[in-house]
Amino acid sequence: MANITPYGLRMPPDLKEALDASARQNGRSLNSEIVARLQQSIEADQTVPDFVTPELYQQVKVLGQELEGLRAQVRALEIRTSGQG
């Protein structure tokens, strides 16, 4: 088993809710979900095609972050409203 360093992570409650929902959807623990997303982010940073300029890459990265934030908000709203009705 790999040597894994513990790390305390503080985050906004709405982000934690969204990550919890995503972890459940993906059949993972919260920790595994966070690790998978961080690994995916680092891998994505390392696989930029040659034709992508730094400016274009930055714009795409910002849009991707905004999209992920919107998806997290939708998931959080779905969780909040699923108990109503």
Task: Tell how many helices (H) and how many strands (E) occur in the chain.
Answer: 3, 0
Which range marks the domain in which residue 54 is found? 13-82
| Residue at 76 is within a domain | yes
Mean pLDDT across the chain: 89
- Residue 37's pLDDT is 95
- Tell me if 70 is assigned to some domain: yes
CA 45 – CA 7 distance, rounded (Å):
22
4 contact partners, CB below 8 Å, separation of at least 6:
none
| Average pLDDT, integer, range 37-66 | 86
Q: What is the pTM of this model?
A: 0.52
In a domain, residue 7? The reply is no
Indicate whether 45 pLDDT > 80.
no
pLDDT above 70 (res 1):
no
- Number of structural domains in the chain: 1
Classify residue 69: in a domain, yes or no.
yes
Report the pLDDT value the prediction gives residue 85, as an integer from 0 to 100: 55
Task: Tell me, yes or no, whether 41 lies in a domain.
Answer: yes
In a domain, 5, yes or no: no
* Helix 13-26 with 30-46: angle, nearest 10 deg: 90
